[in-house]
Amino acid sequence: MRTEKEKMLTESMYMANDAELRADAAVSRRITRLFNQTTEEQQAYRKELLRELFEKTGDNFYIEPPFRCDYGQHITIGENFYANFDCIMLDVAKIKIGDNVMFGPRVGLFTPGHPIDSQVRSSGIEFAKPITIGNDVWVGAQVTVNPGVTIGDGTIIGSGSVVIKDIPSNVIAAGNPCRVIRSITNEDKSYWETEKQAYWDEMKD
């Protein structure tokens, strides 16, 4: 017979009040409490705590306290990950985040789901579906990402969006529910390359 944790991580119905899962959650609560109590002079200690908390990290990452998660051990973040204040990741299922990803304040990634039927829901069983975010993604402030969503490489999610289905690569998407507004074009790339060059030119003066 599978454990409740095994069921949880394979998107099956499971009981969240299982003893093993409560123990895992207690570890996460301890580490996030310590992390959220750190000061700006404790950058190395912050990274040490997050490396202990997460399944895998890149070498370079920064999360602004406060940060909350369910377990931590089901979260993978890539190189150059940045999350602003009040990020929440409910990692009941796996959360995988690629390289060069930025989160605005109060971004929430929520993998858990609950039965629609109220009697089944009140029995305590639930389920979860993984969230995957590709490389070079910018997620604006107060975005909610729901269970089972994949966001493609190079995409921008506008602030305040509620993402309930997959978003493809290299688009700008926003709204509730979040939907594609337009593709990111070569004209966008040219414009921002020009702006970057102007910045560096000014720095040389």
Distance, in Å, from the CA atom of 122 to the CA atom of 173, rounded to the nearest integer, reads: 35
Largest CA-CA distance found in the chain, in angstroms, rounded: 70
Catalytic residues: 114
Q: Fold for domain 4-204? A: UDP N-Acetylglucosamine Acyltransferase; domain 1 (2.160.10)
- In the block, residue with structure tokens 């040219």: 190
pLDDT for the residue 204: 82
Q: What is the pTM of this model?
A: 0.95
- Tell me the HSE value of 90 on the side-chain side, using a 13 A CA sphere: 16
Token pair of 129, please?
């579906």
User: What phi and psi, each to the nearest 5 degrees, are found at residue 81?
Assistant: -85, 140
Rounded Cα distance between 173 and 147, Å, is 18
Residue-wise pLDDT tens for the chain (205 aa)?
899 999 999 999 999 999 999 999 999 999 999 999 999 999 999 999 999 999 999 999 999 999 999 999 999 999 999 999 999 999 999 999 999 999 999 999 999 999 999 999 999 999 999 999 999 999 999 999 999 999 999 999 999 999 999 999 999 999 999 999 999 999 999 999 999 999 999 888 7
Amino acid letter, residue 168: P
